[in-house]
Chain A
Amino acid sequence: MNILKQAKAVGIAATLAVLAGCAGQVNEQAAPAEPTKPATSEQKASASKLESAADKAAREARQAAFESAEQLRKNAMAADTLFFFGFDRSDLGQDALDDLDAHAKYLAANRAAKVRLEGHADERGTRAYNLALGERRANSVTRYLVIQGVNRSQIETVSYGEERPLSLSRDDNGWSRNRRVELIYQ
Protein backbone atom coordinates (compact mmCIF):
# COMPACT_ATOMS: atom_id res chain seq x y z
CA MET A 1 0.00 0.00 0.00
CA ASN A 2 2.59 2.42 1.16
CA ILE A 3 4.86 1.50 -1.66
CA LEU A 4 2.09 2.00 -4.15
CA LYS A 5 1.34 5.53 -2.95
CA GLN A 6 4.98 6.38 -2.97
CA ALA A 7 5.33 5.12 -6.47
CA LYS A 8 2.41 7.29 -7.49
CA ALA A 9 4.00 10.36 -6.01
CA VAL A 10 7.27 9.65 -7.73
CA GLY A 11 5.39 9.16 -10.96
CA ILE A 12 3.68 12.53 -10.65
CA ALA A 13 6.93 14.22 -9.82
CA ALA A 14 8.59 12.63 -12.82
CA THR A 15 5.80 13.74 -15.12
CA LEU A 16 6.06 17.25 -13.83
CA ALA A 17 9.77 17.28 -14.31
CA VAL A 18 9.28 16.24 -17.91
CA LEU A 19 6.67 18.92 -18.40
CA ALA A 20 8.97 21.55 -16.98
CA GLY A 21 11.76 20.28 -19.17
CA CYS A 22 9.52 20.49 -22.20
CA ALA A 23 8.63 24.05 -21.46
CA GLY A 24 12.29 24.90 -21.23
CA GLN A 25 13.00 23.14 -24.49
CA VAL A 26 10.26 24.88 -26.38
CA ASN A 27 11.58 28.12 -25.09
CA GLU A 28 15.05 27.35 -26.26
CA GLN A 29 14.06 26.15 -29.66
CA ALA A 30 11.78 29.04 -30.24
CA ALA A 31 14.44 31.61 -29.79
CA PRO A 32 17.83 30.19 -30.55
CA ALA A 33 19.18 33.64 -31.25
CA GLU A 34 18.74 34.86 -27.70
CA PRO A 35 21.51 33.53 -25.53
CA THR A 36 20.26 34.09 -21.98
CA LYS A 37 17.32 31.80 -21.63
CA PRO A 38 16.41 29.94 -18.48
CA ALA A 39 17.87 26.49 -18.72
CA THR A 40 16.22 23.35 -17.37
CA SER A 41 18.38 23.38 -14.31
CA GLU A 42 17.40 26.89 -13.49
CA GLN A 43 13.73 26.02 -13.50
CA LYS A 44 14.33 23.31 -10.99
CA ALA A 45 16.07 25.89 -8.87
CA SER A 46 14.59 28.62 -6.70
CA ALA A 47 11.82 30.91 -7.77
CA SER A 48 13.89 33.99 -7.18
CA LYS A 49 16.19 33.19 -10.02
CA LEU A 50 13.24 32.79 -12.36
CA GLU A 51 11.93 36.12 -11.25
CA SER A 52 15.09 37.77 -12.37
CA ALA A 53 14.56 36.20 -15.82
CA ALA A 54 11.08 37.69 -15.88
CA ASP A 55 12.55 41.07 -15.00
CA LYS A 56 14.91 40.69 -17.86
CA ALA A 57 12.08 39.89 -20.30
CA ALA A 58 10.19 42.95 -19.11
CA ARG A 59 13.25 45.08 -19.56
CA GLU A 60 13.72 43.77 -23.07
CA ALA A 61 10.11 44.53 -23.85
CA ARG A 62 10.56 48.06 -22.57
CA GLN A 63 13.66 48.44 -24.68
CA ALA A 64 11.79 47.28 -27.73
CA ALA A 65 9.10 49.83 -27.00
CA PHE A 66 11.69 52.51 -26.71
CA GLU A 67 13.23 51.66 -30.02
CA SER A 68 12.23 54.59 -32.08
CA ALA A 69 9.73 54.23 -34.88
CA GLU A 70 12.31 56.02 -36.94
CA GLN A 71 14.82 53.25 -36.36
CA LEU A 72 12.28 50.63 -37.45
CA ARG A 73 11.56 52.61 -40.56
CA LYS A 74 15.25 52.93 -41.33
CA ASN A 75 15.74 49.21 -40.87
CA ALA A 76 12.83 48.45 -43.15
CA MET A 77 13.99 50.81 -45.86
CA ALA A 78 17.48 49.38 -45.71
CA ALA A 79 16.20 45.83 -45.98
CA ASP A 80 16.03 44.01 -49.27
CA THR A 81 12.74 44.23 -51.17
CA LEU A 82 13.42 41.44 -53.64
CA PHE A 83 12.98 37.84 -52.56
CA PHE A 84 13.99 35.04 -54.88
CA PHE A 85 12.72 31.50 -55.36
CA GLY A 86 13.70 28.21 -56.98
CA PHE A 87 12.15 26.90 -60.21
CA ASP A 88 8.53 25.89 -59.61
CA ARG A 89 9.05 26.66 -55.89
CA SER A 90 7.28 29.08 -53.62
CA ASP A 91 9.03 28.46 -50.30
CA LEU A 92 11.03 31.27 -48.70
CA GLY A 93 14.71 30.76 -48.12
CA GLN A 94 16.23 31.24 -44.67
CA ASP A 95 18.26 34.14 -46.01
CA ALA A 96 15.10 36.13 -46.73
CA LEU A 97 13.90 36.07 -43.13
CA ASP A 98 16.05 38.84 -41.61
CA ASP A 99 14.99 41.30 -44.28
CA LEU A 100 11.37 40.25 -43.96
CA ASP A 101 11.59 40.66 -40.18
CA ALA A 102 12.72 44.25 -40.62
CA HIS A 103 9.73 44.94 -42.88
CA ALA A 104 7.41 43.11 -40.51
CA LYS A 105 8.52 45.11 -37.48
CA TYR A 106 7.99 48.36 -39.26
CA LEU A 107 4.60 47.37 -40.64
CA ALA A 108 3.48 45.98 -37.28
CA ALA A 109 4.43 49.22 -35.58
CA ASN A 110 2.83 51.39 -38.27
CA ARG A 111 -0.65 50.16 -39.02
CA ALA A 112 -1.12 52.92 -41.55
CA ALA A 113 1.77 51.66 -43.67
CA LYS A 114 0.75 49.52 -46.59
CA VAL A 115 2.72 47.24 -48.80
CA ARG A 116 2.15 45.62 -52.19
CA LEU A 117 3.69 42.24 -52.94
CA GLU A 118 4.18 41.46 -56.62
CA GLY A 119 4.83 37.82 -57.45
CA HIS A 120 6.74 36.91 -60.59
CA ALA A 121 7.93 33.80 -62.43
CA ASP A 122 10.44 33.07 -65.14
CA GLU A 123 9.32 32.45 -68.71
CA ARG A 124 9.59 28.67 -68.56
CA GLY A 125 6.32 26.85 -68.22
CA THR A 126 2.87 28.01 -69.20
CA ARG A 127 1.65 31.53 -68.57
CA ALA A 128 -1.43 30.78 -66.49
CA TYR A 129 0.50 28.31 -64.37
CA ASN A 130 3.22 30.90 -63.85
CA LEU A 131 0.60 33.41 -62.84
CA ALA A 132 -0.50 30.98 -60.13
CA LEU A 133 3.11 30.40 -59.16
CA GLY A 134 3.73 34.14 -58.76
CA GLU A 135 0.59 34.31 -56.63
CA ARG A 136 1.85 31.53 -54.39
CA ARG A 137 5.20 33.25 -53.99
CA ALA A 138 3.48 36.47 -52.96
CA ASN A 139 1.30 34.47 -50.59
CA SER A 140 4.34 32.85 -49.02
CA VAL A 141 5.69 36.27 -48.15
CA THR A 142 2.26 37.45 -46.97
CA ARG A 143 1.90 34.53 -44.58
CA TYR A 144 5.30 35.16 -43.09
CA LEU A 145 4.62 38.86 -42.58
CA VAL A 146 1.22 38.18 -41.00
CA ILE A 147 2.75 35.77 -38.55
CA GLN A 148 5.29 38.41 -37.66
CA GLY A 149 2.45 40.64 -36.56
CA VAL A 150 1.55 42.52 -39.75
CA ASN A 151 -2.16 43.02 -40.30
CA ARG A 152 -3.51 41.19 -43.36
CA SER A 153 -5.23 44.37 -44.48
CA GLN A 154 -1.86 46.14 -44.77
CA ILE A 155 -0.81 43.76 -47.54
CA GLU A 156 -1.99 43.63 -51.11
CA THR A 157 -0.74 40.86 -53.38
CA VAL A 158 -0.75 40.62 -57.13
CA SER A 159 0.85 38.18 -59.50
CA TYR A 160 2.30 39.15 -62.84
CA GLY A 161 3.42 35.63 -63.68
CA GLU A 162 6.06 35.78 -66.39
CA GLU A 163 4.77 39.02 -67.90
CA ARG A 164 7.23 41.39 -66.27
CA PRO A 165 10.70 39.89 -66.24
CA LEU A 166 13.49 41.85 -64.55
CA SER A 167 16.13 40.24 -66.70
CA LEU A 168 15.77 39.51 -70.38
CA SER A 169 18.68 37.11 -70.54
CA ARG A 170 17.40 33.66 -71.28
CA ASP A 171 19.70 31.63 -69.08
CA ASP A 172 19.76 30.30 -65.54
CA ASN A 173 21.08 33.59 -64.27
CA GLY A 174 18.36 35.67 -65.86
CA TRP A 175 15.65 33.20 -64.95
CA SER A 176 16.69 33.10 -61.30
CA ARG A 177 16.39 36.91 -61.13
CA ASN A 178 12.89 36.73 -62.54
CA ARG A 179 11.54 34.22 -60.01
CA ARG A 180 10.86 36.79 -57.34
CA VAL A 181 8.52 38.69 -55.10
CA GLU A 182 8.87 42.45 -55.09
CA LEU A 183 7.87 44.26 -51.92
CA ILE A 184 6.71 47.77 -52.65
CA TYR A 185 5.63 50.33 -50.02
CA GLN A 186 2.54 52.14 -51.16
Chain B
Amino acid sequence: MRLVQTMGAAVLMTAASLVSYAEETFNAESLRRSQGELLLQIEQLRQETQALRGLMEELSYQLGQMSSDQKTRYLDLDQRLGELVRIQKEAVVAVPTQGGTVVVLDPATPDDTTGQGVQVAAAPEISDQDAYNSAFQLIRERQFDDALAAMESFTQAYPDSELVLDARFWRGQVFDVLGRDQEAIEAFKGITLDAPDYRRILQVKVKLGKLLVKNQDLMNGRKILQEVITQAPESVEAGLASRELEKTN
Protein backbone atom coordinates (compact mmCIF):
# COMPACT_ATOMS: atom_id res chain seq x y z
CA MET B 1 0.00 0.00 0.00
CA ARG B 2 2.75 2.37 0.94
CA LEU B 3 4.35 1.37 -2.31
CA VAL B 4 1.33 2.52 -4.26
CA GLN B 5 1.45 5.88 -2.54
CA THR B 6 5.10 6.32 -3.30
CA MET B 7 4.42 5.43 -6.87
CA GLY B 8 1.68 7.98 -6.95
CA ALA B 9 4.03 10.66 -5.69
CA ALA B 10 6.59 9.69 -8.27
CA VAL B 11 4.06 9.92 -11.06
CA LEU B 12 3.03 13.32 -9.77
CA MET B 13 6.58 14.60 -9.85
CA THR B 14 7.25 13.25 -13.29
CA ALA B 15 4.05 14.80 -14.57
CA ALA B 16 4.88 18.13 -12.98
CA SER B 17 8.20 18.20 -14.72
CA LEU B 18 6.45 17.25 -17.92
CA VAL B 19 4.14 20.22 -17.60
CA SER B 20 6.92 22.65 -16.85
CA TYR B 21 8.77 21.24 -19.73
CA ALA B 22 5.87 21.84 -22.02
CA GLU B 23 5.76 25.42 -20.78
CA GLU B 24 9.37 25.90 -21.61
CA THR B 25 8.69 24.87 -25.14
CA PHE B 26 6.43 27.87 -25.51
CA ASN B 27 8.62 30.32 -27.19
CA ALA B 28 8.02 34.00 -26.85
CA GLU B 29 6.85 34.17 -30.43
CA SER B 30 3.96 31.78 -30.06
CA LEU B 31 2.98 33.35 -26.76
CA ARG B 32 2.61 36.68 -28.46
CA ARG B 33 0.79 35.10 -31.30
CA SER B 34 -1.68 33.52 -28.94
CA GLN B 35 -2.14 36.75 -27.04
CA GLY B 36 -2.91 38.42 -30.31
CA GLU B 37 -5.52 35.81 -31.06
CA LEU B 38 -6.91 36.24 -27.59
CA LEU B 39 -7.15 39.98 -28.12
CA LEU B 40 -9.18 39.49 -31.26
CA GLN B 41 -11.38 37.00 -29.48
CA ILE B 42 -11.99 39.41 -26.62
CA GLU B 43 -12.89 42.09 -29.13
CA GLN B 44 -15.34 39.71 -30.78
CA LEU B 45 -16.82 38.79 -27.44
CA ARG B 46 -17.20 42.44 -26.54
CA GLN B 47 -19.04 43.12 -29.74
CA GLU B 48 -21.26 40.17 -29.13
CA THR B 49 -21.93 41.34 -25.58
CA GLN B 50 -22.79 44.79 -26.90
CA ALA B 51 -25.14 43.36 -29.49
CA LEU B 52 -26.79 41.25 -26.81
CA ARG B 53 -27.03 44.20 -24.49
CA GLY B 54 -28.66 46.22 -27.25
CA LEU B 55 -31.12 43.44 -27.89
CA MET B 56 -31.88 43.15 -24.20
CA GLU B 57 -32.44 46.90 -23.89
CA GLU B 58 -34.82 46.79 -26.81
CA LEU B 59 -36.69 43.75 -25.61
CA SER B 60 -37.09 45.04 -22.08
CA TYR B 61 -38.28 48.35 -23.50
CA GLN B 62 -40.82 46.59 -25.66
CA LEU B 63 -41.87 44.45 -22.74
CA GLY B 64 -42.34 47.57 -20.63
CA GLN B 65 -44.38 49.13 -23.43
CA MET B 66 -46.50 46.03 -23.78
CA SER B 67 -47.21 45.63 -20.12
CA SER B 68 -48.12 49.29 -19.76
CA ASP B 69 -50.37 48.96 -22.82
CA GLN B 70 -51.86 45.90 -21.23
CA LYS B 71 -52.48 47.78 -18.01
CA THR B 72 -54.08 50.68 -19.85
CA ARG B 73 -56.29 48.26 -21.72
CA TYR B 74 -57.28 46.50 -18.51
CA LEU B 75 -58.07 49.77 -16.75
CA ASP B 76 -60.13 50.87 -19.73
CA LEU B 77 -62.02 47.59 -19.74
CA ASP B 78 -62.53 47.73 -16.01
CA GLN B 79 -63.87 51.24 -16.26
CA ARG B 80 -66.27 50.29 -19.03
CA LEU B 81 -67.50 47.28 -17.09
CA GLY B 82 -67.95 49.40 -13.99
CA GLU B 83 -69.94 51.91 -15.97
CA LEU B 84 -72.13 49.16 -17.33
CA VAL B 85 -72.82 47.80 -13.86
CA ARG B 86 -73.61 51.26 -12.53
CA ILE B 87 -76.04 51.97 -15.35
CA GLN B 88 -77.76 48.68 -14.74
CA LYS B 89 -78.14 49.43 -11.06
CA GLU B 90 -79.68 52.79 -11.73
CA ALA B 91 -82.01 51.80 -14.47
CA VAL B 92 -85.68 50.96 -14.23
CA VAL B 93 -88.78 49.53 -15.33
CA ALA B 94 -90.96 48.21 -17.66
CA VAL B 95 -91.11 46.70 -20.60
CA PRO B 96 -89.01 45.43 -23.19
CA THR B 97 -88.77 42.05 -24.71
CA GLN B 98 -91.16 40.31 -26.95
CA GLY B 99 -93.45 43.16 -27.78
CA GLY B 100 -94.23 43.77 -24.15
CA THR B 101 -95.78 47.11 -23.26
CA VAL B 102 -95.52 49.17 -20.19
CA VAL B 103 -98.42 48.38 -17.93
CA VAL B 104 -99.32 51.91 -17.22
CA LEU B 105 -99.13 52.86 -20.79
CA ASP B 106 -101.49 50.14 -21.68
CA PRO B 107 -103.75 49.59 -18.71
CA ALA B 108 -106.50 48.24 -20.86
CA THR B 109 -107.28 44.71 -21.76
CA PRO B 110 -107.03 43.22 -18.32
CA ASP B 111 -109.31 40.43 -19.44
CA ASP B 112 -107.20 39.59 -22.32
CA THR B 113 -105.92 36.14 -21.59
CA THR B 114 -102.59 37.07 -22.91
CA GLY B 115 -102.80 40.44 -21.14
CA GLN B 116 -99.36 41.77 -21.52
CA GLY B 117 -99.71 44.32 -18.78
CA VAL B 118 -100.21 41.68 -16.16
CA GLN B 119 -97.61 39.63 -17.78
CA VAL B 120 -94.95 42.19 -17.04
CA ALA B 121 -95.41 41.71 -13.35
CA ALA B 122 -95.66 38.00 -13.61
CA ALA B 123 -93.25 37.35 -16.33
CA PRO B 124 -90.34 35.65 -14.75
CA GLU B 125 -88.12 36.37 -17.69
CA ILE B 126 -88.07 40.10 -17.01
CA SER B 127 -85.93 40.70 -13.96
CA ASP B 128 -86.53 43.69 -11.71
CA GLN B 129 -83.16 44.99 -12.86
CA ASP B 130 -84.20 44.93 -16.53
CA ALA B 131 -87.49 46.58 -15.77
CA TYR B 132 -85.78 49.27 -13.71
CA ASN B 133 -83.21 49.81 -16.45
CA SER B 134 -85.78 50.43 -19.12
CA ALA B 135 -87.65 52.86 -16.92
CA PHE B 136 -84.43 54.65 -16.13
CA GLN B 137 -83.62 54.77 -19.81
CA LEU B 138 -86.75 56.88 -20.29
CA ILE B 139 -85.32 59.44 -17.89
CA ARG B 140 -82.10 59.51 -19.81
CA GLU B 141 -84.08 60.07 -22.96
CA ARG B 142 -85.89 62.88 -21.16
CA GLN B 143 -89.29 61.27 -21.69
CA PHE B 144 -90.27 62.36 -18.25
CA ASP B 145 -93.98 61.62 -18.30
CA ASP B 146 -93.41 58.09 -19.53
CA ALA B 147 -90.62 57.74 -17.01
CA LEU B 148 -92.92 58.71 -14.14
CA ALA B 149 -95.42 56.12 -15.21
CA ALA B 150 -92.76 53.50 -15.66
CA MET B 151 -91.24 54.14 -12.24
CA GLU B 152 -94.69 54.00 -10.67
CA SER B 153 -95.54 50.74 -12.38
CA PHE B 154 -92.16 49.35 -11.38
CA THR B 155 -92.83 49.96 -7.69
CA GLN B 156 -96.13 48.19 -8.05
CA ALA B 157 -94.81 45.28 -10.08
CA TYR B 158 -91.75 44.65 -7.91
CA PRO B 159 -92.72 45.86 -4.44
CA ASP B 160 -90.01 43.77 -2.83
CA SER B 161 -87.21 44.76 -5.16
CA GLU B 162 -84.19 46.50 -3.71
CA LEU B 163 -84.58 48.98 -6.52
CA VAL B 164 -87.93 50.30 -5.32
CA LEU B 165 -86.29 53.07 -3.33
CA ASP B 166 -84.28 54.04 -6.36
CA ALA B 167 -87.44 54.12 -8.42
CA ARG B 168 -89.07 56.37 -5.83
CA PHE B 169 -85.99 58.56 -5.73
CA TRP B 170 -86.08 59.05 -9.50
CA ARG B 171 -89.81 59.74 -9.43
CA GLY B 172 -89.08 62.55 -7.01
CA GLN B 173 -86.29 63.83 -9.24
CA VAL B 174 -88.53 63.76 -12.31
CA PHE B 175 -91.30 65.62 -10.48
CA ASP B 176 -88.71 68.20 -9.55
CA VAL B 177 -87.51 68.50 -13.13
CA LEU B 178 -91.09 68.91 -14.31
CA GLY B 179 -91.66 71.63 -11.74
CA ARG B 180 -94.29 69.57 -9.92
CA ASP B 181 -92.86 70.63 -6.58
CA GLN B 182 -95.61 69.35 -4.30
CA GLU B 183 -95.45 65.87 -5.78
CA ALA B 184 -91.66 65.95 -5.57
CA ILE B 185 -91.87 67.00 -1.93
CA GLU B 186 -94.28 64.16 -1.22
CA ALA B 187 -92.03 61.65 -2.98
CA PHE B 188 -88.88 62.75 -1.12
CA LYS B 189 -90.67 63.10 2.20
CA GLY B 190 -91.98 59.54 1.76
CA ILE B 191 -88.44 58.25 1.35
CA THR B 192 -87.16 60.07 4.44
CA LEU B 193 -89.96 58.55 6.48
CA ASP B 194 -89.86 55.01 5.07
CA ALA B 195 -86.14 54.56 4.57
CA PRO B 196 -83.94 56.80 6.76
CA ASP B 197 -80.97 54.53 5.92
CA TYR B 198 -81.36 54.76 2.14
CA ARG B 199 -77.91 55.21 0.57
CA ARG B 200 -78.98 58.41 -1.15
CA ILE B 201 -80.71 59.81 1.91
CA LEU B 202 -78.46 62.85 2.03
CA GLN B 203 -79.25 63.72 -1.58
CA VAL B 204 -82.93 63.21 -0.82
CA LYS B 205 -82.78 65.50 2.15
CA VAL B 206 -80.92 68.26 0.37
CA LYS B 207 -83.43 68.12 -2.44
CA LEU B 208 -86.34 68.08 -0.02
CA GLY B 209 -84.92 70.95 2.01
CA LYS B 210 -84.37 73.00 -1.13
CA LEU B 211 -87.90 72.34 -2.34
CA LEU B 212 -89.42 73.19 1.04
CA VAL B 213 -87.50 76.45 1.23
CA LYS B 214 -88.49 77.24 -2.32
CA ASN B 215 -92.09 76.60 -1.43
CA GLN B 216 -92.01 78.93 1.55
CA ASP B 217 -91.79 76.18 4.20
CA LEU B 218 -88.64 77.85 5.54
CA MET B 219 -88.79 76.26 8.95
CA ASN B 220 -88.95 72.63 7.80
CA GLY B 221 -86.65 73.30 4.90
CA ARG B 222 -83.95 74.81 7.11
CA LYS B 223 -84.40 72.06 9.64
CA ILE B 224 -83.85 69.28 7.16
CA LEU B 225 -80.85 71.01 5.58
CA GLN B 226 -79.39 71.45 9.06
CA GLU B 227 -79.93 67.73 9.60
CA VAL B 228 -77.80 66.92 6.58
CA ILE B 229 -74.96 69.02 7.95
CA THR B 230 -75.16 67.42 11.38
CA GLN B 231 -75.56 63.93 9.98
CA ALA B 232 -72.56 64.01 7.66
CA PRO B 233 -70.58 67.22 8.09
CA GLU B 234 -67.79 66.08 5.75
CA SER B 235 -70.04 65.11 2.86
CA VAL B 236 -70.52 66.89 -0.42
CA GLU B 237 -74.19 67.19 0.48
CA ALA B 238 -73.37 69.03 3.71
CA GLY B 239 -71.62 71.60 1.54
CA LEU B 240 -74.63 71.92 -0.70
CA ALA B 241 -76.91 72.13 2.32
CA SER B 242 -74.94 74.91 3.97
CA ARG B 243 -74.94 76.84 0.70
CA GLU B 244 -78.72 76.51 0.56
CA LEU B 245 -78.95 77.58 4.16
CA GLU B 246 -76.89 80.67 3.49
CA LYS B 247 -79.33 81.66 0.77
CA THR B 248 -82.18 81.63 3.26
CA ASN B 249 -80.44 84.05 5.61
A-B interaction: yes
Asked whether any CB of chain A lies closer than 8 Å to the CB of B40, the reply is: yes
Asked whether any CB of chain A lies closer than 8 Å to the CB of B7, the reply is: yes
Give Cα A16–Cα B25 distance, bound, in whole angstroms. Answer: 18
> Does B32 lie within 8 Å of A148, measured CB to CB?
yes
> Does B11 lie within 8 Å of A13, measured CB to CB?
yes
How far apart are B115's CB and chain A's nearest CB, in angstroms? 85
Nearest to B34 among chain A residues (CB) is: A30
Give Cα A116–Cα B34 distance, bound, in whole angstroms. Answer: 25
Q: From DSSP, what is the main secondary structure of chain B's interface residues?
A: helix
How far apart are B16's CB and chain A's nearest CB, in angstroms? 8
Interface residues of A in 61-87 (CB under 8 A from B): 61, 64
Select B33's contact among A30, A38, A50, beta carbons within 8 Å.
A30
Asked whether any CB of chain A lies closer than 8 Å to the CB of B246, the reply is: no
Chain B residues with Cβ below 8 Å from A23 are 18-19, 22-23
Chain A residues with Cβ below 8 Å from B34 are 26, 29-31
Interface size on B, residues (CB 8 A): 32
Give Cα A40–Cα B18 distance, bound, in whole angstroms. Answer: 11
Give Cα A6–Cα B1 distance, bound, in whole angstroms. Answer: 9
How far apart are A17's CB and chain B's nearest CB, in angstroms? 8
Nearest to B18 among chain A residues (CB) is: A20
Give Cα A97–Cα B38 distance, bound, in whole angstroms. Answer: 13
Q: From DSSP, what is the main secondary structure of chain A's interface residues?
A: helix
Per-position binary interface string of chain A over residues 4-28, scored 1 when its CB falls under 8 Å from any chain B CB and 0 otherwise: 0110110011001101100110110
> Does B39 lie within 8 Å of A31, measured CB to CB?
no
Asked whether any CB of chain B lies closer than 8 Å to the CB of A54, the reply is: yes
Select A33's contact among B19, B33, B35, beta carbons within 8 Å.
B33
> Does B32 lie within 8 Å of A147, measured CB to CB?
yes
Q: A20-B18, A144-B36 are in contact. Are A54 and B4 (CB under 8 A)?
A: no
> Does A54 lie within 8 Å of B43, measured CB to CB?
no
Asked whether any CB of chain B lies closer than 8 Å to the CB of A2, the reply is: yes
Asked whether any CB of chain B lies closer than 8 Å to the CB of A43, the reply is: yes
Chain B residues with Cβ below 8 Å from A5 are 1, 4-5
Asked whether any CB of chain A lies closer than 8 Å to the CB of B85, the reply is: no
> Does A97 lie within 8 Å of B22, measured CB to CB?
no
Interface size on A, residues (CB 8 A): 45
Select A54's contact among B25, B31, B37, B47, beta carbons within 8 Å.
B25
> Does A27 lie within 8 Å of B26, measured CB to CB?
yes
Asked whether any CB of chain B lies closer than 8 Å to the CB of A53, the reply is: yes
Asked whether any CB of chain B lies closer than 8 Å to the CB of A168, the reply is: no
Q: A16-B11, A30-B34 are in contact. Are A54 and B21 (CB under 8 A)?
A: yes
Interface residues of B in 35-86 (CB under 8 A from A): 35-37, 39-40, 43-44, 47
Chain B residues with Cβ below 8 Å from A47 are 21
Chain B residues with Cβ below 8 Å from A33 are 33
Chain B residues with Cβ below 8 Å from A50 are 18, 21, 25
Chain B residues with Cβ below 8 Å from A143 are 39
Chain A residues with Cβ below 8 Å from B236 are none
Asked whether any CB of chain A lies closer than 8 Å to the CB of B125, the reply is: no
How far apart are A98's CB and chain B's nearest CB, in angstroms? 11
Chain B residues with Cβ below 8 Å from A140 are 43
Asked whether any CB of chain B lies closer than 8 Å to the CB of A158, the reply is: no
Chain A residues with Cβ below 8 Å from B36 are 97, 144, 147-148
Can you show 25 pairs from A to B with CB atoms below 8 A apart?
A: A5-B5, A6-B4, A8-B8, A12-B11, A17-B15, A23-B19, A27-B26, A27-B30, A30-B26, A43-B18, A43-B21, A50-B25, A53-B25, A54-B21, A54-B25, A57-B27, A61-B27, A91-B43, A91-B44, A91-B47, A92-B43, A97-B36, A140-B43, A144-B39, A147-B35
Question: Given contacts A91-B43, A147-B36, could you give 9 more A-B pairs where the C-beta distance is less than 8 Å?
Answer: A9-B5, A20-B15, A20-B18, A23-B18, A29-B34, A61-B27, A64-B29, A147-B39, A148-B36
In order of increasing CB-CB distance, the 6 nearest A-B pairs are A31-B30, A30-B34, A16-B15, A23-B22, A147-B35, A91-B43
